[in-house]
Structure 1
Amino acid sequence: MANELTHRVVRTNGIDMHVAEQGSGPLVLLIHGFPGLWASWKNQIAELAKHGYHVVAPDMRGYGDTESPTDPTSYSIFHLVGDLVGLLQVLGHQQAFVVGHDWGAVVAWHLCLFRPDMVKALVNLGVPFWPRSPNIKPKTLRQKFGDGFYISQFQEPGRAEKAFGLYDHLTLMKKFHLIDKPDLIAPPGMEIIDFLDTPSSLPAWITEEELQYFASKFQKSGFTGPLNYYRAMDLNWELLAPWQGSKISVPTKFIAGDKDIGFHSFGIKDYIMGSDFKRCVPNVEVVVIDGYHFIQQEKAKEVTNEILSFLANFSNV
């Protein structure tokens, strides 16, 4: 029934994609990031469905019960956006509201860039749209931040997988979810996963059972797929050259947690709060709330209310 959470596998863009869905009405796609799953949106799914939306939350390519190609070139931004375009077609919708977090926000930005006709409105969390530099490839991050930078370490096939393999999957999920986000620079020669300390207790916003669910799915699918998003960054830089200087025209709400490490790194806060972000995304509303990186889980009610209030401007719900 539409009022119950259901699961199915659909064929899109050449892969089998697992989706969770609930409700009926205007379509809302919820796009998770690293290291997430459809369940990252558990609270939003139920509430949005209750308010009259058809909510669909996929496991993205490489995650959970969705297919996980091993070749990093299969994780280009064209592949990731293509998966969502195909998903909309399978669902029988020409347009959707889209909500993204972390890498899901990156994919959602580019869905809006490539196919603005398919997005009624966008709510993105944590990661802003960043204009493509005409001269600086992502690989130069290693030159700027060194080998200890987590994105640098993620580039080398097998390196992060080997480090992750030193831990059981439940411990890994605690490390990733409870230390905010691993936007850290490790000392030279130290693996990023070894540089993280695991907290001794869980915060109120996530349970041991929830983390165990995540752990069971990553134990099945592994980390190569999710890490391939990072390994395709240089390829994406090359592919995105035709969109150099393009803007996001879709109406957007951007939500950031004021304690998110990413918000305070690499000049992102100044970029978001200044005029540059507005120039790249002219129809953006910026909301900064009290919280960390996994804000849709930590501050579920507040984030859901922000989503609902924004979507209501563009629908009859």
Structure 2
Amino acid sequence: MSIIFQDLYKPEKASLQINVTGSEFSQLFVQREREMEGIEHRTVEVNGIKMHIAETGEGPVVLFLHGFPELWHSWHNQIAALGSLGYHAVAPDLRGYGDTEVPDSISSYTCFHIVGDLVALIDFLGVDQVFLVGHDWGAIIGWYLCMFRPDKVKAYVCLSVPLLHRNPKVRTVDAMRAMYGDDYYICRFQKPGEMEAQMAEVGTEYVLRNITTRKPGPPILPKGKFGTGFNPDMTNSLPSWLPEDDLAYYVSKFEKTGFTGPLNNYRNMNLNWELTAAWSGVKIQVPVKFITGELDMVYTSLNMKEYIHGGGFKEDVPNLEEVVVQKGVAHFNNLEAAEEINTHIYDFINKF
């Protein structure tokens, strides 16, 4: 959806209509591949699926977990930066995304499946532990990895989504529905096929452009359609951190795989609540640095500010070493504030 995106962005191309095919798309990808020179790609077999990973550098492994609707590419600034600083930076397309396999069954996207993929990947890389960096859904999976296999994580830099404290009395989606109603976006994602059909009505490009919103607060989607979706005030201009060729890359991958795999993560939230009953109340013991934007839709929803700053977060994560709130930054802080995020990651993991 940068090494800095601001450096690559062309203001004269801010108004984007992606209606390119064939040679035009090829030219965009050739340009992006040249910019990504030094990042290698391969497909590995983990946990019964084929997973695509992008990687560069040598040294301790830094494992990057992307969110929704993102890909390994969301981390290309961080991969380049950490790979040049003595680390082996690795970013997979997670299960259901990009060039990684897309299992058909909804139940193939539980937290156990995805953490299983990552543990198998860590073992494949031949290391005992990794430095972990996660954003959005990648952050949620990162918390599960720290919970289930803390022996695999040396330290965790978490972006956007803090630990979602498990209420033993209320299932996750049920709690969200009670707080924000049936039109809260996670509630709207629950029915199989419904959101995919509504996204298809507006098109992949529109969906990806729309989700780059800087609008704070809980995303409420109009009933019965995707419509204006996450950003009712969307214009033709792209944000400075999302160049045309990057968007073209995302569009091509989601056109191929669709959104069902990624949406199935949301459809397992209540099941994940049931599956993790044995971990209710468990403290995360991994050293953690948490970074969010002050305009982030997560930070400005669900009583998150109270949890993050009121002591609850620290109680659940005793080794939470620092909370950073970035002024004027929204949800995709790994892209919007790439250089700052690179510095935060390096400064934190370099201590270990």
TM-score band, normalised by shorter chain: over 0.9
User: What corresponds to 2:323 in structure 1?
Assistant: 286
Q: Distance in 2 between matches of 1:183 and 1:175?
A: 15
Counterpart in 2 of 1:109?
143
CA distance in 2, matches of 1:199, 1:45: 30
1:238-317 mapped onto 2 (5 Å cutoff): 238-284=274-320, 285-290=322-327, 291-314=329-352
Letter in 2 for 1:132: R
CA distance in 1, matches of 2:316, 2:98: 33
Contact 2:218 2:300 survives alignment (8 Å): no
Could you tell me how far apart the structure 1 residues matched to 2:159 and 2:323 are? 10
Q: Secondary structure at the match of 1:262?
A: coil
Q: Measured at CA, do residues 180 and 207 of structure 1 come closer, stay the same or move farther in structure 2, by a change above 3 Å? A: farther
CA contact (8 A) 2:65 2:134 kept: yes
Residue type matched to 2:69 in 1? P
Distance (whole Å) between structure 1 residues aligned to residue 306 and residue 178 of structure 2: 23
1:210 aligns with 2:256: no
Distance 1:6 1:298, change over 3 A: same
Distance 1:54 1:243 in 2: 31
CA separation of 1:162/1:214 partners in 2, compared to 1, >3 Å: closer, same or farther?
same
**Which protein, 1 or 2, shows the higher relative CO under an 8 Å CA cutoff with sep ≥ 6?**
2
Name 1:166's counterpart in structure 2: 201
What is the aligned partner in structure 2 of residue 155 from structure 1? 190
| Amino acid of the structure 2 residue aligned with 1:161 | E
SS at match of 2:167: coil
Taking structure 1 as reference, are residues 295 and 278 closer, same or farther at Cα in structure 2, changes over 3 Å only? Answer: same
Shift of 1:8: 0.3
The answer to whether the Cα contact below 8 Å between 2:199 and 2:207 also exists between their aligned partners in 1 is: yes
Give the aligned residue type for 2:186: I
**TM-score normalised by the chain length of structure 1:** 0.95
Q: Which amino acid aligns with 1:287?
A: V
Match of 2:152 in 1: 118
Q: Give the aligned partner of residue 225 of structure 1.
A: 261
Structure 1's consecutive aligned runs of 4 or more residues displaced over 4 angstroms after TM superposition are 179-182
Matched, 1:47 2:84: no
The structure 2 residue matched to 1:71, chosen from 94, 101, 105, is 105
Equivalent in the alignment of 1:99: 133
CA distance in 1, matches of 2:97, 2:141: 14
Which residue does 1:146 correspond to in 2?
181
Kindly provide the CA deviation profile for residues 231-274 of structure 1, in whole angstroms up to 9, marking residues without a partner as x: 01111011000001001100000001011121111110111111
Q: CA shift at 1:190, angstroms?
A: 4.2
RMSD in angstroms over aligned alpha carbons? Answer: 1.5
- How many residue pairs get aligned? The number is 311
Gaps of 5+ in 2: 1-36
Secondary structure of residue in 1 paired with 2:123 = helix
Could you tell me which amino acid in structure 2 is paired with residue 208 of structure 1? E
Distance apart, 1:193 and its partner CA: 4.4
Q: Distance in 2 between matches of 1:97 and 1:176?
A: 28
Identical aligned residues as a percent: 49
**Alignment match of 2:58 (pick from 19, 24, 41):** 24
Deviation at 1:179, TM superposition (A): 4.6
Tell me the TM-score normalised to structure 2 length. 0.85
Structure 1 residues 144 and 273: alpha-carbon distance in aligned structure 2, compared to 1, 3 A threshold: closer
Query: Are the structure 2 counterparts of residues 230 and 165 from structure 1 closer, same or farther at C-alpha, using a change threshold of 3 Å?
Result: same
CA contact 2:71–2:93 (8 Å) conserved in 1: yes
Q: Deviations over 1:256-293 (max 9, x none)?
A: 10111211111101111111100001111111112100
- Answer yes or no: is 1:184 the counterpart of 2:226: no
- In structure 1, the gaps of 5 or more residues are none
Q: CA deviation at 1:93?
A: 1.0
